[in-house]
Amino acid sequence: MPYPTAAIPPHSPRIVIIGAGFGGLQAAQSLAGCDAEVVLVDRCNYHVFTPLLYQVATGVLDANVIASPVRRLLRNAPNVRFLRENVSEIDFDKRVIQSDTEILSYDYLVLVTGSKAQFLGISGAQEHSFPLKTLADAIAIRSRIVDCLETAVAEPDRTETLLTFAIVGGGTTGVEVAGSLAEWVKTTLAKDYPNLDRDWVRIVLVQSGDRLLEEFSPSLGNYACKRLRKLGVEIRLGTKVDRVTPTELYLDTGETIATETTIWTAGVEVDRPDILQDVQTESKGKLPVRSTLELRDRVYAIGDLAYLESDGKPLPGIAPVALQQGVAVADNLRRQLRGKMPKPFKFFNKGRLAIVGGYTGVGNIAGFRFRGFLAWLLWLQVHWVYLPGWYNRFVVLLSWLAAYLGRDRVATLQFRIQSSEFRVQKKVNLKSK
C-alpha cells in the first residue's frame, strides 16, 4: 500500500469510489469504520451541493457556501482517504483504475461520476450556450449576466441582444433559473443601473414539451407557467431549438430570439471515464445495473450514471436517489465484506419540490400536491437542512435574507473560474507504463 493510514489494518480489501457528488460522498461516509480501506477519488477538492447551483448562477449565493472541501466532510472517517485525481480509464479485468498520475487497484469499485450537459446535436449549442452542471458553470453564468448589464451601459446600440436572456429547458433547473433571474435583473436594475430600463430586459424560457415541470402534475406545471409569466418571463411551449449563434437563438417555430446569452438546461448525459471492457448502455449513456446496484461483480454504479427502474419507470437523476443509493451500496459492501450477498435497492420516494420564483414553489409529497408560498418556504428549509457545515448554513441564511427580504444579491462579482484544468504540473501519461 503506497499510502499507509494508521486507521487501516494491513491487508484490508480496498474499495475505490470514483466521484465525490451526493452518491459517492454518501457511500464513503457510510463506509466509515468498516473493515476496508476506502479511497474516494474526485477531480475537484470539493463536493458541490448541486440543488443550489442555480442560486450561484443568479447571484443569490456565493460559490464558497455551496461547496465544501471533501476532506472536511470525511474527518470522521479515518479509514477513508481522498485522492484529488482525474480518473481517465478503468480496467474491470485487471481491477485497476488509472488516474493522471497513478494506477490504483481495487477489490470493489463504486462508479458515481454523474452527468454532464447534453446538447442534443444542436448546431452551435455547445459553443454558444451556457450549461449549468458545475460550480464553474454557475459562476460563468453569473459573470455573463453581470457582463451583459455592464456592457449594455457602455454600448447602448447592443442593449437588445445584451439584455435578452434565453433559457432552454423547462424542467426544474430551467424554471428555477428563469424565476431567480427575473427577480434579480428586475430588482437590481432599478437600484444599480439607472440608465437601463427594466422593460428592456427579456427573459425567454424555451420548452420542447407542452408544459413546464413535466416531472410534476400538469396543474403544477401550469401554475409555474403562470407565476413565471407574472414575473415577466416569456414562455415558449412545444418549441425546439434549431440553432444557436453568438447573437441569436433560432427556434423551430420560425422565431429568432436576438440574445447573446443562452443558458442550456435541456438535457444531460453520462459523464464517465473510459472503460476498457464493453458495457451495455441505455439512453443518455446510462449503465443498466442489477437491482443490487451492481454493474457487474465487484463493481457498483449509482447516481446519474446508473440505469435502474423502479415501479416500471427509470429512477430520475436527482440528489435523493443518489444519496439513498450511496447508503445502499455501503450496506451491500459491508455485507460482501462479511461474505454475504448484496440486497436489492429500493427507492423511497419522499416527494419532490421545485422553487418557481416570486416567493412561490410547487411540491408533491406523499401524493399531496401543493403550491405557492408554503412550497417555496419548504424548499428553502429542506435544502438548508441538508447543506453540510454550520458556516455554510449561516451564510446561506444571511444571503437569503438579503435576497428575499432585502431584494438584493450578495454575490455578483464578475469573474470566471477554472476548476480541474489547473494543476501544479504537467500531467503524466501512464498509458505507456
Burial of 411 (0-12, 13-18, 19+ CB in 10 A): buried
Is residue 415 close enough to count as binding its own copies by CB under 8 A?
yes
Q: Is 232 exposed, middle or buried (0-12, 13-18, 19+ CB in 10 A)?
A: middle
Indicate the helix (H) or strand (E) that contains 190: helix 172-192
Q: Which of residues 174-203 bind its own copies (CB under 8 A)?
A: 191-195
State yes or no: residue 84 binds its own copies (CB under 8 A).
Answer: yes
Position 279 contacts its own copies (CB under 8 A):
no
Q: Which stretch binds its own copies (CB under 8 A): 15-23, 82-90, 302-310, 320-328?
A: 82-90
Check residue 71 for interaction with its own copies (CB under 8 A). yes
Least separation in angstroms between CB 162 and its own copies? 7
| Residue (212 or 403) nearer to its own copies, CB | 403
Minimal CA–CA distance to 21: which of 404, 323, 289, 384?
323
- The closest of 308, 343, 307 to 327, measured between CA atoms, is 343
Give yes or no: 234 in active site: no
Site residues for its own copies, 3-42, by CB under 8 A, read 3-7
Pairing assessment for the beta strands 368-372 and 248-251 based on DSSP bridges: unpaired
Task: Decide if residue 120 touches its own copies (CB under 8 A).
Answer: no
DSSP 402: I
CB neighbours of 154 closer than 8 A, spacing ≥ 6? none
Give the whole-angstrom CA distance, residue 103 versus residue 94.
11
Which of 102, 127, 150, 176 is catalytic? The answer is 176
Smallest gap from Cβ 155 to its own copies, in A, equals 6
Binding of its own copies by 92 (CB under 8 A): no
Q: Does 101 bind its own copies (CB under 8 A)?
A: yes
Sheet holding 248-251, edge to edge: 241-244, 248-251, 256-258
Active site residues: 176
Residues in contact with its own copies by CB under 8 A are 2-7, 44-46, 62-65, 67, 69, 71-72, 75, 78, 81-85, 99, 101-102, 135-136, 143-144, 146-148, 150-151, 153-156, 162, 191-195, 246, 260, 391, 394-395, 398-399, 402, 408, 410-419, 422-425
